[in-house]
Homo-oligomer: A and B are copies of this chain.
Amino acid sequence: MPIIDGLQYCNWSEEIFREMRAGGVAAVHVTIAYHEDFRETVERIIEWKRRFEAFGDLIVPVGSAEELGAAAASGRTGILFGAQNCSPLEDDIGLVAVLHDLGLRFMQLSYNNQSLLATGCYEAEDPGITRMGREVIREMNRVGLVVDMSHSAERSTLEAIEISERPIAITHANPAAWAPALRNKSDAVLRALAESGGMLGLSLYPHHLRDKTDCSLESFCAMVARTLELMGPDHVGLGSDLCQNQPDSVVEWMRNGTWTRTRDFGEGSKAAAGFPPQPDWFACNRDFGNIASGLAAVGFDQPLIDKVMGDNWLAFFERSFCPASAQGTTDDAQARRA
C-alpha cells in the first residue's frame, strides 16, 4: 500500500525526509509557491534541486505515476510540485506549459483572494471563473497540469469542475458539514467533484478539523467514512496540509503576502495568529499509520484503507499528468493493466 499525501508545506529538512521514510510515505505533493511570481517560483525549484542532491538517498522528484513507482522501488519518497495560487503564471498563459516542463503538477486557480482566474474563499463575492480562467483551464487540461480548488470559493469551484475537461482536485480540505470553516467544502461541491472523477485530499490542518487541535482520531475517521458515503470509494485521499517546523512568520506571509498594508488573520485570529498545534495523533510523517489504524477501527477493510491512504491518489496521478493528446494511450495502458 503506497502512502501518498496530497499536500504538505513543511520547513523542509533531513529530519522531515527521514520521517517520510520512517512513515512509509511513497509520495508527497509539496507546495512550492503561494505568492511567488514566475521567477521566484523558479528559485523555489532551485532550492528543491539542492535538496534532491543533498538528500538523494531519501527523496526524488517525480512527475508521473511511473516515476513514483520507480521512486518507491528505490526506497525513496517521490516529491511532486504544486502551487497554491496562480501567481507563478503571472498574466501569461504561455507559462502553463513551461511550469509543467519544470515539474509543476498541481496549480490552485486562486488562493484566499480574487485572482486573474478565479475567486478565493475569503472574498465577499464569487463571480466564478474569469475569461482568462477559462483559457487557462483549457491549457492546463492540454498539458496535464491539475486544477486544484482547495482555497477557492464555492461558485468558482463548481464552475472549474464543470469547465475542466479533465478531473480536478481539491488537494486539502474537509467537508464543511463536519467542520464549518470557510475553507472547507459543501456537500454540493464534494458530490460534483466525485461525479466528475476528481479527488479530495482530507486535511489534518487544525483549522479544518472539528474541535481543531483537540480533534480526536475517532472523529476524523468517522468523517472519512461519511465522506466516502457521499463521494464513493474512489475519490478520497489525504492532503494533510502539514506545515511542520514553520515559524509563525510563514503563516502570516501566507495570509498577507504583499496585497495589504493592514493585517489579515485568515483562519486564525488576532489572539491566535500563529500556526495551531497539530493533534497528537498526527504530528509528522511518521504518523500515517495512526490514521490507517483509525480507519480500521471505524470498520474499513484493508482495500478501502489502501484506497484512502494512497491508491486513489495513485490512480488519479496515472490519468492526470500526461498531455491530453496522450490520454488515450494512458487509458489503454491502464485498461491493459486492469
A: which residues have CB within 8 A of B?
A: 35, 37, 87, 90-94, 113-116, 119, 122-128, 130-133, 135, 138-139, 257-262
Q: Which residues of B contact A258 (CB under 8 A)?
A: 91-94
Contact B113 A113 (CB under 8 A): no
Contact B113 A259 (CB under 8 A): no
| Min CB gap A225→B, angstroms | 36
| Min CB gap A107→B, angstroms | 16
| Min CB gap A50→B, angstroms | 26
| Min CB gap A95→B, angstroms | 8
Q: Which residues of B contact A91 (CB under 8 A)?
A: 35, 37, 87, 257-259
Contact B116 A130 (CB under 8 A): no
Contact A116 B119 (CB under 8 A): no
A-B contact sample (20 more), CB < 8 A, given A114-B133, A124-B128: A35-B91, A90-B90, A91-B257, A91-B259, A92-B258, A92-B259, A93-B261, A113-B116, A113-B130, A114-B114, A115-B116, A116-B116, A116-B259, A119-B127, A125-B127, A126-B127, A127-B127, A131-B260, A132-B260, A139-B261
Residues A135 and B92 in contact in the complex (CB < 8 Å), given A127-B125, A130-B123: no
CA distance A132 to B122 in the complex (A): 11
CA distance A83 to B95 in the complex (A): 24
Residues A123 and B113 in contact in the complex (CB < 8 Å), given A135-B260, A135-B262: no
| Min CB gap A118→B, angstroms | 9
A-B interface, 8 closest residue pairs, ranked by CB to CB distance from nearest: A125-B127, A114-B130, A92-B258, A127-B127, A132-B259, A135-B260, A113-B131, A113-B132
